[in-house]
Chains A and B, each alone.
Chain A
Amino acid sequence: MVSIQLHTPLGDEILSLKAGDRIELSGLVYTARDEAHLRMQKEGIPFDPEGAVIYHCGPVVKDDRIVAAGPTTSARMNALSGFLLDKGARALIGKGGMGSTVKKQLRGRGVYFAFTGGCAALAASHMTLKGVHFPDLGMAEAVWVIELDRLPLVVGIDSAGNDLFSAVQENAKKIFCAEQKKECV
């Protein structure tokens, strides 16, 4: 299967992406976890958010080099992502999917890319470190500016609200409830 090539900053080209599409992303992305989101809400976004891509990741960095940088669980940022999309960010990268609020916030303007959890060495081999914001938050929580070279991702939630994760979850629940003879809520 041939992957769709995308380059940051992203624009309206992402609106045609469908959940399940495989893409390769190049260009600058910004890491942010819980602490960085809270800091940006308070002090402002330290990079140009227009077309930006946020990567839910706390990397291992040594001697100004990315050593390992796989995704962290995106759901922790469910309540923290709206302001970035409001300011023009077009995509979030992480693992495990995001809640219904974010799905709504992405409608008509952005997408959620899933990157394979645990694939930190593969990620690092597609990355060059370009800078850092909020280094006082520590290695895992700082905002690292990273240049990607064709990082392989899959569209987990598209801008029309299609969501691979919630479809899988609903199906799993149905099967579990049937097998255990439980009432499905």
Chain B
Amino acid sequence: MQCRGPEDLRAALADATCRAMRDAVITLPPDVKRAIEKATARETSAVARGEYGNIAQNILAAERLGVPLCQDTGVPVVYLTLPPSVPYSQALFDAVADGIRRATQEIPLRPNVVDPLTRHNSGDNTGAGMPAVHVRPGEKFTVTVLPKGAGAENVSQVVMLLPSQKEKIAEIVAGTMLIAEGRPCPPVVLGVGIGGTFDSVTALAKEALLQPIDRMTDFEQQLCDAVNRLGIGPMGLGGSTTALAVKVKTAACHTASLPVAVNVQCWANRHATVEVEW
């Protein structure tokens, strides 16, 4: 058996990251396509049906032309799973950044990453803390990318509820979309984090977006129905579906806290996972 060194790992992970990004920005996951088709079938408003017509054609055009679904190719949020054989080191982060730089050139992606204060654009979608990389143990060595656009990210919310305010969760979820209106490109997917701490609840909300959206628990369905009763519809033009799905992820929390975060995602709920060949 050949010994594989850190350089091979860096190349293999960079390659997998680039491929996952290409897949994510061009092709929607099948569960998201199914959810959009279902929403289209139950829509009665003529204007909303026109919007779904454009969305369906756009999904086909992106695949046919091999170009991104949306010009806002987002900022790169990346999740790695590492089996015991893969060492945790800086090389992993460098490799992911290599892959994002390549993806920016080759696909291409719009260079979106800037310094928060000077607003200087790095031109390659990397910067301090970006790509945002989350690492956890797993059975296989995989890379998952979730390119996150600004329109939906900007209307996301985090609230520190009191333990007695559990009933307010639905109000916060629906209220997030009331304020957001058409800005996050509905029909949206809402990732809801409940529990944990001030920082971890927002990470839960984002991770919830990676779950399959074509099935919901009763609680998720209730939240989704509360959002859809608002009638905001595709692009805020009115219609029966404002949220394709609400997905909830929970974590244990302090007995005196009830953190809730709502991460809003546009209809293009883009993400892709690739196994790293190493």
Contacts and interface: CB of A to CB of B under 8 A. Distances in A.
Interface string A1-28: 1000000000000000000101000000
A119 interface: yes
B29 interface: no
A152 B54 contact: yes
Interface string B212-249: 00000000000000100111111111100000000000
Most buried by A among B68, B230, B237: B237
Interface size class of A (residues with CB under 8 A): 35 or more
Contacts of A173: 178
A164 B55 contact: no
B121 interface: yes
A167 B238 contact: yes
B66 to A, nearest CB: 9
Most buried by B among A70, A114, A122, A154: A122
Interface string A101-140: 0000000000000111111111111000000000000111
Most buried by B among A95, A118, A167: A118
B90 interface: no
Contact of B237 (A138, A156, A175): A156
Contacts, number: 155
Contact of B232 (A58, A67, A139, A172): A172
Contacts of A117: 70, 151, 182, 185, 235, 266
A179 interface: yes
A123 to B, nearest CB: 8
B40 interface: no
B55 A70 contact: no
A175 B185 CA distance: 21
A67 B58 CA distance: 13
A168 to B, nearest CB: 4
Given A168-B238, A169-B236, A179-B226, A120 B69 contact: yes
Interface string A50-74: 0000000111101000011110110
A168 B46 contact: no
B71 A152 contact: no
Interface stretch (B5-13, B108-116, B131-139, B198-206): B108-116
A75 B73 CA distance: 20
Given A122-B58, A168-B231, A176 B69 contact: no
Given A58-B110, A164-B47, A122 B61 contact: yes
Nearest to B226: A179
Contact of A121 (B58, B72, B181, B267): B58
Given A20-B47, A152-B50, A179-B226, A68 B185 contact: no
B68 A116 contact: no
A60 B71 contact: yes
Contact of A168 (B61, B236, B267): B236
A161 interface: no
Interface in B25-58: 46-47, 50-51, 53-55, 57-58
A60 B151 contact: no
A-B interface, 5 closest residue pairs, ranked by CB to CB distance from nearest = A117-B185, A121-B62, A122-B58, A119-B58, A116-B54
7 contacts: A59-B71, A68-B70, A119-B58, A125-B61, A154-B47, A154-B237, A172-B231
Given A68-B71, A95-B185, A179-B174, 16 more contacts: A20-B46, A59-B71, A60-B108, A70-B72, A73-B151, A97-B182, A119-B69, A119-B70, A121-B67, A121-B69, A152-B50, A154-B50, A164-B237, A169-B232, A172-B181, A172-B232
